[in-house]
Chain A
């Protein structure tokens, strides 16, 4: 077992016994299945509607940028939570 293995198994153990134990699969108020079902309906509705504006608006571009913004904001949010937890532990 290499040093890298020990490091990986340690990180793995931490994840297995902290986040994986604590984090739920479904959020209160809306289960993951309900969310995906809603999103699917939303997709089916919005795709036809947005396609209608494709001749004057860069719809695909706007949506792609929304995905980028959403991902970046979520990452920053996660980072802030991590910093908050670290500060909370340090006191």
Chain B
């Protein structure tokens, strides 16, 4: 989280400086809307497999929601609630009158009647992820049963819940579609609580929740700004540029710079922006760089335009510290700059070079010893690979790992490894029927018969013996096939 905050701060400063400099030239008086982060968490700084309870802003009441690398909306980690577990993710000690909760949600399994609620204590309203009766899930609020926004299973979806002093609404697609405004109890939100039963599984990632002052989503019929630092007045032009430095000695460096702009569609039609990119450094190698322009929003909302600037050097192209650059983009006065929503410098694969024996310093010798030393260095140096060569072959091997069938085999192997690591031998036998769950009493098998001997343990021991025998048979057969 600190990492994310540092990145956000640095980029916000950068763009504030850029916007500020230009604003100084044209002499604008900007309208400031302030926002205060409550929770900003991409789960990247936590250890894989640990519970989020007590980490970051999460309250210690959280349980079973653990950090996972199985899915990630951004980066490499998210938080997972595995099917069969009752998970909570709470943030207490709040005092928010106007604000929002913004996160990415990835449902994996949902039983009929299963529910995961997002409850806003104080204002006393809740938004639910509810089983739709056919294995899917809908987003709704209290009293709607199967009615609501259908979510897609096994897909990241951008959920936003926003509220002011008296009302709330929610969106299943990052602000493209909204529920109707509904009244709530009218008090400041004192805690945000996610909880539900154990008949659903999901991942969450890139969690942002902030308070907003100087902006009322009900009174101002626009998509609310996210991560707002400064909104420039509508008549003021905004300009921005960015560069991505790919660190030396890293293979498959990948970067992503995203900036949001807003434009009112009732005044201006949608348009496509072409952002030219250039690469300096490492010119002798191929590279890829793309821009993405996404336009969303309808009705009287603002169009949201985001661009991603990403680059990946060709395998092994770590030389010369290449920089992918985007020129100054003169957004005219029909655009409003919102925010930097993602940070650059995300390295996918850190190159790890093997340690090598260094050549001996021959200056300490003289005469025949120096000649022998230099000859030894000459012979040794001839067969000593350089770091550049090692990094290049390392990058190529990394690229090879992404090709079929190696990537498929790795994924399958990794999946079995994950299952083996997460199987809990002591969890007991849990079953579900029409949304009702129960756990079979297996105490008979675990009852101590004396001296630590149990029936279950004895059966397990016998099965272990047979499994090892089978493995030994397979091993002999395998060796036979290898040596054939």
Chain A residue, CB-CB nearest to B471: A65
- State A48–B419 Cα separation when bound (angstroms): 9
User: A91 on the interface (CB 8 Å rule)?
Assistant: no
A40 to chain B, nearest CB (A): 5
CA of A76 to CA of B384 in the docked complex: distance in angstroms? 31
Whether A4 contacts B383 in the complex (CB less than 8 A), given A42-B415, A55-B446, comes out as yes
User: Is B422 a contact of A47 with CB atoms below 8 Å?
Assistant: yes
On whether the beta carbons of A40 and B71 are closer than 8 Å, the reply is yes
Please state if B382 and A44 are interface contacts (CB–CB under 8 Å): no
Q: Which residues of A contact B404 (CB under 8 A)?
A: 23-27, 32
Q: Is the CB of A55 within 8 A of B423?
A: no
Residues in B with CB closer than 8 Å to A66 are 416
Contacts of A67 in B (CB 8 A): 413, 416-417, 420
Contacts of A39 on B, CB cut-off 8 Å? 411-412, 415
Which residues in B have their C-beta under 8 angstroms from that of A9?
A: 389, 392
- Also in contact, A32 and B393, with CB within 8 A (given A56-B459, A63-B423): no
User: Is A85 interfacial (CB-CB < 8 Å)?
Assistant: no
Interface size class of A (residues with CB under 8 A): 35 or more
In this complex, how many residues of chain B approach chain A with their Cβ under 8 Å: the count is: 69
* CB nearest neighbor in A for B478: A72
Question: Is B56 among interface residues, defined by CB-CB distance under 8 A?
Answer: no
Interface centre among B416, B427, B428, B464 (most CB of A within 10 A): B416
Task: Give B292 Cβ to nearest chain A Cβ, in Å.
Answer: 18
The segment out of B59-67, B232-240, B394-402 that lies at the interface is B394-402
As a 0/1 sequence over residues 189 to 209 of chain B, the CB contacts with chain A under 8 angstroms (1 = contact) are 000000000000100000000
Query: B32: CB under 8 A from chain A?
Result: no
Chain B residue numbers with a CB within 8 Å of A11 are 393
A41 to chain B, nearest CB (A): 6
Please give, as numbers and ranges, the residues of chain A lying within 8 Å of B82 by CB-CB distance: 44, 47-48
Any A CB within 8 A of the CB of B390: yes
State whether B425 touches A55 (Cβ < 8 A): yes
- Per the bound structure, the CA–CA distance linking A51 and B316 in Å amounts to 43
Q: Which of A27, A61, A69 contacts B408 (CB 8 A)?
A: A27
Asked if B24 is at the interface of the complex by the 8 Å CB criterion, the answer is: no
Option from A25, A44, A73 in Cβ contact (under 8 Å) with B403 = A25
Question: Which of B23-37 touch A at CB < 8 Å?
Answer: none
The CA-CA distance from A47 to B422 in the complex, in Å, is 7
- B407 pairs with A25, CB closer than 8 A: yes
- Find A40's partner among B70, B385, B392, B416 (CB 8 Å cutoff): B70
Quick check: B416 and A63 within 8 Å, CB to CB? Answer: yes
> B407 contacts which chain A residues (CB < 8 A)?
25, 32
Q: A53-B429, A69-B474 known; A43 and B419 CB under 8 Å?
A: yes
Cβ-neighbour of B445 out of A8, A37, A43, A56 (below 8 A): A56
Q: Determine if B427 and A54 form an interchain contact, defined as CB atoms under 8 angstroms apart.
A: yes
- Point out the residues of chain B lying under 8 angstroms from A44, CB to CB: 82-83, 108-109, 201
A18–B447 alpha-carbon span in the complex (Å): 61
The answer to whether A64 touches B420 (Cβ under 8 A) is yes
Nearest residue, chain A, Cβ from B461: A58
Interface: B418 (CB within 8 A): yes
The smallest beta-carbon distance between B435 and chain A, in angstroms, is 15
Apart from the given pairs A41-B154, A70-B412, 14 other A-B contacts in the complex at a CB distance below 8 Å: A11-B393, A23-B400, A23-B404, A25-B402, A37-B154, A39-B412, A40-B415, A44-B83, A44-B109, A48-B430, A54-B425, A55-B456, A57-B460, A60-B421
What are the 8 A-B residue pairs with the smallest beta carbon separation, nearest first? A54-B425, A63-B420, A48-B84, A23-B403, A52-B429, A4-B385, A51-B427, A39-B415
**Which A residues are closer than 8 A to B by beta carbons?**
1-5, 8-9, 11-12, 15-16, 19-20, 23-27, 32, 35-37, 39-48, 50-67, 69-74, 76
